[in-house]
Chain A
Amino acid sequence: MNNEEVKKLHEPLFHIEKRGGVSKKKAWGIRGIGILVAVVIVSILAAIMLQADPFTFFGKMFEGAFGTTNRIWNMLRDTAILLGFALAIVPAFRMRFWNLGANGQVLMGAFACTVCMFYLYGKIPLGVLVPLMVISSVAAGMLWAAIPAVFKAFFNTNESLFTLMMNYIAESLVTFTITVWVPNGSGSLPPIIPGGLKLFDNAYILPILIIALLTVGMFFYLRISKQGYELTVVGESENTARYIGINVKKVIIRTLAISGAICGLVGFLLSGCMSGTINPQIHSGYGFTAIIVTWLAQFNPLVMAGVAFLVIFVNRGMKSGIKPAFGLTTEAFANIVTGIIFFCVLAFEFFIVYKFKYRSDVEEKMNAFKAKFKKKSAAKVATEATSDGVVASESASEAAEKANGAGDAENGENAAEKATEEVNKEEE
């Protein structure tokens, strides 16, 4: 066996390698490609399953999300609520405390709020009742989050399982209480405050306003406060934290108390401001969706707002746009599309951290290929004698297309990237 053969047998076409640092520009570019891929797959799926062309399909989706004033308000309000969940879990996640119990903590907040409404609405003035609702919601959320935190701090119990289980307890508690309040009912509690609490006679402004303030607050809390620094250190390494004199137990419990308090406040918004009642599903499962939001935004509250907006856009676009437009009466298609979009977005996060490294002979061929295009696009720019960015980019995208046609998609992207960089350089 000679060396050549060994090489052929053992070296794969490409392997995966960790990238050095990635510029923000490039990272967002990769994310953009992820969304593009999702759009393409969803378009194909829509064509096959709904016989819809992509323009109609995405048109309906936009219409569902933004088609009327009310839909736009709904978009913003739902974004605020989902962002509220994300803001609640972000300090805990930053501390590497996997709080999977946001649903339950929000539910407990909503529950405490409903208890106040159920027993006191109409009996005491609203000026007293509303602060009471807020305080008890926040306290209940805080308590529900503090229980697993105490166990984590003192007994090192697994917080993921603990917080997860607390969700089911909260749901059962609500279900049970409704059957106590409405003994022969059908499991639903009629609104106690019809239409919920409003600000300026607008049902949407209050949640949006509260969450906007919280977002800014959380941004600075994590960025510049001492407590924000402490929880980051605890997340990075408990031993380091202990060494520099941070009281780890205190930080864990305090951070979860904050996490739970925000959940409680969201619970108040859901039951007190929006529905005026409670049901065990009032959290809409956002506690889990919020995990994707915080993760994609890399724990930056401002970016989280954008990601939450995207998530809600897909949600609402499906619910009010696609489903009624195509007469879909199951969740299946909407779930598939949502799944594809998030899968693509998350999968492309991989390429921000890693890249393909090709086998040397393939690499050579590819370089030769790229060199050809480099010449071509350079020549084109030269002949057209223009530094117009549009034309330059066009030639780059043409190059990308050709490279794509030639086979490997990654290869194409690389080629396009190289070509664009070249063109940019020449422009300068």
Chain B
Amino acid sequence: MKKFLTLVLATIMAVLTLGTLATMSACGSKMTVGLITLHGESSTYDKNFIDAMKTACANLGLSDELMIISGIEEDNTCYEAAKDMVDQGCKVVFADSFGHEPFLIQAAKEFPEVQFAHATGTSSKVQNLPNFHNAFASIYEGRYLAGVAAGMKLAAMVEAGQIKASNMEGDNIIVGYVGAHPYAEVKSGYTSWFLGVQSVVPNTVMKVLFTGSWYDETAEKTAANTLINAGAAIISQHADSMGAPSACEAAGVPNVSYNGSTQTSCPNTYIVSSKINWVPYFEYLIKNTLDGKKVDTDWVGTLGNGAVALTELGSVATAAGTAEKLEEVKAQLMAGTLHVFDCSKFTVNGEHLTSYAADINGDYQPDEGVNVIKTDANGVTYFAESDVADFRSAPYFDLDIDGITVLTTTN
């Protein structure tokens, strides 16, 4: 019996080893592009990166040289994954989560010949490494447009008499927002969405609930239901699972999504989704790396270069005339005649902003001597968000504006 087994096991081992050697030498394909993601495709946030990277690599004929490692926590496993990608021949490594940044910097210092890039990060200018880059998009403009679509829906609901007394707080209609963390990226997102809603229906207030996690389906669902019970007539979210949209679909409350369309799973309540289209950046990053050209230390995607995008409008829940309205507002934003964070449109503690020292260097403290409030040629003062020329690409709008209440309990 023992001999028999030993023989069988030895044969298997031998065959497998041979197979390994064969495959290793046969394909010998070197990887070129590495993508590290926090979660897998089940997270809408990560799926957006994965799909974009696949498209970009396909466009550049590099599909066989793309290596994706998903499910990488924000700890030294990120550094190790990056190192592994370098071992596999990758010339450029991209990581998608905020907490990956310090570990990617660690790898960047160790491998100066490889380009490392990172979404939502804040450190590239501070670090000033030639091979470490940040990138983000002026997604607040996309959020604003999505807010306009929500506002159109809200106006239609008012007209159709669908707004009940429970949806009102005084004279104001309640909208809701499920956020992940009270972090500048999230605050910037919900504030711009809310301003978009208000641009169509001025008498709105918003209730926000944080889940304390980027991906927690149960918590997001609970939060959405809490907001619905608190009277929210429309809900949007910045958290990465299908929790909030599916809760909205179940309750029949219109939903504005993020990172991708939920048309198929939430056909009756899906209005629109804003998303960052990463394809332009990925193509730029990979092409420049392979051509030996410089990659910007900090890069921002815009409506102009196609990085800020809206998905197709929902077929059921969207109000009539939304598409035309969105085109109109988009043109204004692109022309610079409309600013999302126009200081005359919002107040903080009852006052309009005249100057603000935001945290640009990423230490969570206001940066002395920095003023992110600018005045354009027409004399309009505005909060200059994602201003890569003077500040950085990652959002830094972290103010609590009037009309938005953060709830602290769920039910």
Contact = CB atoms under 8 A, between A and B. Distances in A.
Interface string A316-329: 00011001100111
B342 interface: no
Interface in B180-200: 180-185
A186 B183 contact: yes
Interface stretch (B20-28, B146-154, B244-252): B20-28
Nearest to B185: A186
Given A70-B83, A329-B50, A55 B22 contact: yes
B20 A59 contact: yes
B contacts with A: majority SS:
helix
Interface string A268-295: 0000001111010110100000000000
Interface stretch (A122-130, A349-357, A417-425): A417-425
A56 B87 CA distance: 20
Main secondary structure of the interface of A (DSSP, over half): helix
Interface stretch (B9-17, B132-140, B227-235): B9-17
Contacts of B332: none
A25 interface: yes
Nearest to B101: A190
A397 B6 CA distance: 12
Interface stretch (A8-16, A176-184, A219-227, A240-248): A176-184
Given A175-B212, A179-B212, A396 B50 contact: no
A331 B40 contact: yes
A416 B272 CA distance: 65
A190 B66 CA distance: 28
B84 A186 contact: no
A195 B1 contact: no
Contacts of B40: 329-331
Interface string A67-108: 110110010000000000000000000000000000000000
Contacts of A25: 1-2
B389 interface: no
A188 B98 contact: yes
A277 B87 CA distance: 25
A67 B1 contact: no
Contacts of A191: 102-103, 106
A203 B88 CA distance: 20
A320 B69 contact: yes
Contact of B69 (A60, A71, A319, A396): A319
A268 to B, nearest CB: 14
B2 A319 contact: no
A389 interface: yes
A26 B3 CA distance: 11
A194 B104 CA distance: 11
B4 to A, nearest CB: 5
Contact of A184 (B46, B74, B184): B184
B19 interface: yes
Contacts of B181: 179, 185-187
Contacts of A302: none
Residue of A195, A284, A424 ringed by the most chain B CB atoms within 10 A: A195
Give the interface residue-count category, chain B: 35 or more
A59 B1 contact: no
A277 B75 CA distance: 7
Kindly name the residue among A60, A62, A175 whose own CB sees the greatest number of chain B CB atoms within 10 A: A62
A329 B37 contact: yes
B70 interface: yes
B199 to A, nearest CB: 27
Which of B80, B213, B359 has the largest number of chain A CB atoms within 10 A? B80
B1 A26 contact: yes
B25 to A, nearest CB: 11
B160 interface: no
A213 interface: no
Contacts of A323: 68-70
A186 B214 contact: yes
A194 to B, nearest CB: 6
A279 B80 contact: no
A183 B69 contact: no
Contacts of B184: 184
Interface string B336-379: 00000000000000000000000100001000000000000000
Contacts of A417: 1, 4
Contacts of A195: 76, 79, 106
Given A70-B84, A186-B99, A330-B70, A55 B16 contact: yes
Contacts of B106: 191, 194-195
B8 interface: yes
Interface in A18-68: 25-26, 28-29, 32-33, 36, 39, 54-56, 58-60, 62-63, 67-68
B19 A397 contact: no
A404 interface: no
B202 interface: no
A152 B12 CA distance: 48
Contacts of A39: 12
Interface in A384-428: 389-390, 392-393, 396-397, 400, 416-417, 420-421, 424
B70 A187 contact: no
Given A68-B84, A185-B364, A421 B212 contact: no
Given A55-B22, A63-B20, A330-B40, A182 B4 contact: no
A424 B6 CA distance: 14
B5 A59 contact: no
A62 B20 CA distance: 7
A330 B42 contact: yes
**A-B interface, 4 closest residue pairs, ranked by CB to CB distance from nearest:** A188-B99, A55-B19, A330-B40, A59-B23
20 contacts: A33-B5, A36-B8, A36-B9, A55-B16, A55-B23, A63-B20, A68-B87, A74-B80, A187-B183, A195-B106, A275-B75, A279-B73, A279-B99, A281-B73, A320-B69, A327-B66, A329-B41, A329-B50, A331-B40, A331-B70
Given A186-B183, A397-B7, 7 more contacts: A70-B80, A70-B84, A71-B84, A195-B106, A284-B73, A330-B40, A416-B4
Interface of A: 25-26, 28-29, 32-33, 36, 39, 54-56, 58-60, 62-63, 67-68, 70-71, 74, 175, 179, 182-188, 190-191, 194-196, 203, 274-277, 279, 281-282, 284, 319-320, 323-324, 327-331, 389-390, 392-393, 396-397, 400, 416-417, 420-421, 424
